[in-house]
Amino acid sequence: MIHTTEVEEMRTYCIIGDPVSHSLSPAMHNAAFKSLSMDDVYIAYKVSSHELESSVESLRSVKISGFNVTIPHKIAVLQYLDEVDLLSRKAGAVNTVATIDGRFKGFNTDIQGFLQPLLNRGIDFRGLSVLLFGAGGSARAVVASLSSVTGVSKLVVANRTYNKSSELSKQAELQGLTSSVSMIEEAKVMAKRFDLIVNATSVGLQSNETILDSEDIDGGSTVYDLVYRPVMTKLLENAREKGARIIYGYEMLLEQGAQAFEIWTGLKAPILAMKKALFGVFQEPK
Ligand SMILES: NC(=O)c1ccc[n+]([C@@H]2O[C@H](COP(=O)([O-])OP(=O)(O)OC[C@H]3O[C@@H](n4cnc5c(N)ncnc54)[C@H](OP(=O)(O)O)[C@@H]3O)[C@@H](O)[C@H]2O)c1
């Protein structure tokens, strides 16, 4: 027999995006619920851009407890939320939504999620030059992260669509960074001059494509690929070949997921269980 209280206590979460079949968030969050003996469930919904508004309204009517937002909706979703926190307003992008008293509140856990793996490695931000590929939702979070630490000396934003990189570079300036714009081909030529290279494009996602070849990379740089599937992207392979320090996309995935879990549940995220779930899906790199 099912008791009403039990049914009411089971909460539902989801991720919306397109494509979304590559997402590891369901495995990660369901493992977290299981490890804390919670009945909550997390599922993935493929939502195309023209369905975004109606899908957000459907989530409202089913009283979803919270949801994540991924490619390509992190920017567009803002207009359908009741409230956004300061950090997501700064980034102009949301990746986590919590239902609070029936209202949808947006957060951006990619910001701390991006920063944490750099902090874990003790990266010194003083005088750091950064080349950022991409100007979408996650690139906005990267800019907000870089502006939250002291010391970054310059940022160059390189994106396929010039208008978007120009807009993001202006945002970076407003957030206190010294920023300029480059086309991707030019950026490849000057990539060796940067301390930190970040790939925030979807190039390399489930493919063997790469934004930089090994001859474009200097061994003294740190190369951070936000793409996490495959874990060892062609870009990271190229960087490792040149002796550069590499940061995997799964590290950010884990950190942003842990923070989302904490926002939704108010509990400390069982990060080890979440990590184990990821590596049940793919092998932990050596
Ligand atoms: N590790 C993590 O936790 C984490 C978190 C967030 C995102 N990500 C990953 O980061 C990537 C970007 O996500 P997003 O949310 O920022 O997506 P998004 O908002 O849709 O932006 C996609 C970006 O990729 C660029 N792009 C797409 N195809 C390209 C191509 N063939 N050549 C050059 N540039 C291309 C786009 O350029 P245009 O502006 O020209 O279209 C845009 O800058 C995805 O792979 C996602 O899985 C990882």
Our answer on whether the CB atom of 142 is closer than 6 Å to any ligand 1 atom is no
Centre of ligand 1 from the C-alpha of residue 188, in Å: 17
**Which two tokens mark 167?**
């807009």
Bridge partners for 42 per DSSP: 13
pLDDT band with cut points at 50, 70 and 90 for residue 4: very low
**For 32-75, how does the pLDDT look when each residue is reduced to its tens digit (9 = 90+)?**
999 999 999 999 999 999 999 999 999 999 999 999 999 999 99
Q: Tell me how far apart the alpha carbons of residues 76 and 53 are, in angstroms, rounded to a whole number.
A: 9
Architecture field, domain 111-247: 3-Layer(aba) Sandwich (3.40)
Our answer on whether the CB atom of 249 is closer than 6 Å to any ligand 1 atom is yes
Centre of ligand 1 from the C-alpha of residue 135, in Å: 8
**For 211-268, how does the pLDDT look when each residue is reduced to its tens digit (9 = 90+)?**
999 999 999 999 999 999 899 999 999 999 999 999 999 999 999 999 999 999 999 9
The two domains 4-108+251-281 and 111-247 share their CATH topology (first three levels equal):
yes
For residue 206, what pLDDT is reported?
77
HSE, side-chain direction, 13 A CA sphere, residue 137: 22
Our answer on whether the CB atom of 225 is closer than 6 Å to any ligand 1 atom is no
In words, the CATH class of domain 4-108+251-281 is alpha beta
Which atom of ligand 1 has the smallest separation from the CA of 255? 3
Our answer on whether the CB atom of 137 is closer than 6 Å to any ligand 1 atom is yes
Read off the pTM.
0.93
Q: Tell me how far apart the alpha carbons of residues 213 and 228 are, in angstroms, rounded to a whole number.
A: 18
Active site residues: 74
Do β-strands 154-158 and 129-133 pair in parallel, antiparallel, or remain unpaired? parallel
Centre of ligand 1 from the C-alpha of residue 205, in Å: 9
Q: Tell me how far apart the alpha carbons of residues 102 and 82 are, in angstroms, rounded to a whole number.
A: 10
Question: What is the domain partition of the chain in residue ranges?
Answer: 4-108+251-281, 111-247
Query: Residue whose CA is closest, atom 11 of ligand 1?
Result: 202
Which atom of ligand 1 has the smallest separation from the CA of 161? 40
Our answer on whether the CB atom of 159 is closer than 6 Å to any ligand 1 atom is yes
Report how far apart, in Å, the C-alpha atoms of 34 and of each of 9, 128, 196, 277 are: 15, 41, 37, 11
pLDDT band with cut points at 50, 70 and 90 for residue 279: confident
Alpha helices in the chain (DSSP H): 4-9, 25-35, 52-61, 86-91, 110-120, 137-148, 162-174, 184-190, 234-241, 249-265, 271-281
Q: pLDDT > 70: what percent of the chain?
A: 95
